[in-house]
């Protein structure tokens, strides 16, 4: 069915270069609601290595002991049917997060699971055979060569990833179970692309290329040889760097709910998506989520312009309108133009506000004597005289003066 990888894994921190890919993977691990990561790159660019090494950075999950799906004991609202029935006697344990791999040849029943219809009809019991989505709950679901997978299966995966719930319906019998996972897909563009509708469903997209620099390529070979000669020693060598990244991910997850974003930054995000020709609103929402997650990863609490720009590189790569001969590279110049446009709009609005406040203040001053029943006088008790300064103020605001 599915494959989990428990062998010695190449350390995440030891991967040379490919910072865009590593950042995308980390952000999605911090905030899975971003909607998954699609990594597009040619052969031999450490795509699979990075995915499998990510799991080693993530903390163990507390799960219900004996639960097929590994339900979270601290979230009873997301329990499966069996855990709901046995809530009083539940015991807990900890489970290491794993990578569950979905093969390209997977069928729908392999992915979602299957129901024993005859048992349901005869005995009135729902006998469910778990699928890959059951094993993936609270783990990493990895789909290599996702572009070669059946479109129907890809669409199904993305639906479940968005809802966090897998629903199986067969012959009028239905069964559901929680299925919330970190979705990662990799592909080689030379072997074909996904349909635009499916591309848009992935939250982030990291477009990577092979490294051309000779010294960097030499370093990649040296590290790989060192790892293969003595994996345990090599892993120990990079353990401190991996732990630092793991601690930062944990801190970011805790900080994320406290991260704020101003209306000015929201306008910049919307303007960037509008100018990029992004269809719908999923791109706008994902850009804001990603910017906030990136801000938390930097251990800050207020989204900045740099956070928006960096997030846009991952959110727009697969969503921008492209001509037949264009590539998927992020255009810094156009994004900077969008940011300036949004800033100018913010400035024009801020200039209008003081004028409106001043006009309201003047209006209140003019109406105040009438509302309070007071009369202007010249200091000698003559109610018919008016103050000269008020008269001048009125004439100055008169368009015909």
The most confident of the ranges 28-37, 121-130, 328-337 is 28-37
The residue ranking higher by pLDDT, 27 or 388, is 27
User: Rg of the Cα trace of the chain?
Assistant: 29
Distance between CA atoms of 169 and 126, rounded to whole angstroms?
Answer: 11
CATH superfamily of domain region 1-60+96-233: P-loop containing nucleotide triphosphate hydrolases (3.40.50.300)
Of 29-33, 134-138, 244-248, 346-350, the least confident: 346-350
Q: What percent helix, strand, coil does the chain show, rounded to 5?
A: 55, 15, 35
| Tokens 């067969």, residue located | 170
Residue 57 banded pLDDT, cuts 50, 70, 90: confident
* Domain segments of the chain as ranges: 1-60+96-233, 252-354
**Domain range 252-354, its CATH number among 1.10.8.80, 1.10.3720.10, 3.30.70.360, 2.30.110.10:** 1.10.8.80
Average pLDDT over residues 261-268: 89
pLDDT above 80 (res 216):
yes
Tell me which residues are annotated as active site.
282
Distance between CA atoms of 265 and 251, rounded to whole angstroms?
Answer: 23
Residues 339/25/40/194 CA torsion (nearest 10 deg): -90
**pTM of the predicted protein model:** 0.74
Yes or no: say if 10 and 51 are a contact pair by the CB < 8 Å rule: no
Q: Are strands 92-95 and 61-64 parallel, antiparallel or unpaired?
A: antiparallel
């Amino acid at each position: 069915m599915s494959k989990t990888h428990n062998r010695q894994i190449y350390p995440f921190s030891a991967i040379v270069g490919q910072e865009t890919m590593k950042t995308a993977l980390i952000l999605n691990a911090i905030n899975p609601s971003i909607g998954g990561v699609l990594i597009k790159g040619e052969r031999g660019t450490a795509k699979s290595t990075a995915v499998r090494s990510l799991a080693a950075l993530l903390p163990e999950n507390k799960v219900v002991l004996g639960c097929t799906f590994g339900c979270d004991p601290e979230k009873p609202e997301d329990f499966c049917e069996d855990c709901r029935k046995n809530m009083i006697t539940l015991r807990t344990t900890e489970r290491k997060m794993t990578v569950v791999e979905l093969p390209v040849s997977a069928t729908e029943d392999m992915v979602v699971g299957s129901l024993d219809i005859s048992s349901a009809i005869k005995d009135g019991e729902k006998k469910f055979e778990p699928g890959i989505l059951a094993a993936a709950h609270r783990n990493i679901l990895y789909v290599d060569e996702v572009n070669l997978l059946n479109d129907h299966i890809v669409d199904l995966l993305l639906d479940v990833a968005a809802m966090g719930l897998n629903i199986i319906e067969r012959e009028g019998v239905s069964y559901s179970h929680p299925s919330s996972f970190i979705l990662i897909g990799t592909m080689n563009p030379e072997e074909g692309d996904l349909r635009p509708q499916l591309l848009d469903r992935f939250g982030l997209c990291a477009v990577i290329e092979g490294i051309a620099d000779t010294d960097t390529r030499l370093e990649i070979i040296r590290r790989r040889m060192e790892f293969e000669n003595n994996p345990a020693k090599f892993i120990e060598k990079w353990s401190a760097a991996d732990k630092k990244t793991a601690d930062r991910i944990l801190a970011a997850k805790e900080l994320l709910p406290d991260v704020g974003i101003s209306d000015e930054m929201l306008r910049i995000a919307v303007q960037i998506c509008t100018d990029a020709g992004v269809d719908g609103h999923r791109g706008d929402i994902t850009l804001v989520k990603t910017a906030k997650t990136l801000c938390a990863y930097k251990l800050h609490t207020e989204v900045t312009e740099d956070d928006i720009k960096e997030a846009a590189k991952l959110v727009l790569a697969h969503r921008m309108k492209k001509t037949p001969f264009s590539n998927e590279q992020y255009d810094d110049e156009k994004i900077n133009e969008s940011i300036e446009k949004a800033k100018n709009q913010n400035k024009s609005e801020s200039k209008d506000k003081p004028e409106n406040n001043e006009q309201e203040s003047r209006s209140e001053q003019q109406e105040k004597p009438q509302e309070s029943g007071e009369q202007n006088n010249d200091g000698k008790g003559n109610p018919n005289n008016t103050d000269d300064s008020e008269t001048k103020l009125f004439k100055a605001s008169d368009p015909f003066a």
